């Protein structure tokens, strides 16, 4: 999840895939199963996050929470978003 709004009951999320994890474009980063922070993601296998594939959903559509990103993963997410959307 990228953002949760308390006023309109929506969350914003990025697409995550376990396919072709070793083949990354500039708008993707890996959540590697060998990373010490990986366990907190709730994922079962290494996966990649595609930051340009974003969607907003009503919170009531979310059935359960898998996990969360730790600090290094959040830094990687932020850096990839900045690069992908040329924010600097």
Residue that has been written with the tokens 């990839």 in this structure: 80
Distance CA 87, CA 23 (A): 24
Query: For the structural domain made of 3-84, what CATH number should be given?
Result: 2.30.30.110
Put simply, whether the predicted model's pTM sits higher than 0.85 gets the answer: yes
Domain ranges for the chain:
3-84
- pLDDT, tens digit only, all 88 positions of the chain: 666 667 788 889 999 999 999 999 999 999 999 999 999 999 999 999 999 999 999 989 988 889 999 999 999 999 999 999 999 8
Beta strand pairing status for 3-5 and 10-17?
antiparallel
Both tokens assigned to 59: 């919170």
């Amino acid at each position: 999840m990228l953002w949760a709004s308390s006023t309109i009951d929506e969350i914003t999320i990025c697409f995550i895939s376990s396919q072709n994890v070793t083949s990354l474009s500039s708008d993707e980063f890996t959540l590697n199963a060998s990373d010490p922070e990986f366990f907190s993601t709730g994922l079962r296998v290494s996966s990649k996050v595609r930051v340009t594939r974003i969607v907003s959903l009503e919170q009531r559509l979310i059935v359960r929470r898998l996990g969360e990103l730790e600090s290094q993963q959040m830094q990687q997410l932020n850096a990839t978003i900045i690069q992908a959307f040329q924010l600097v």
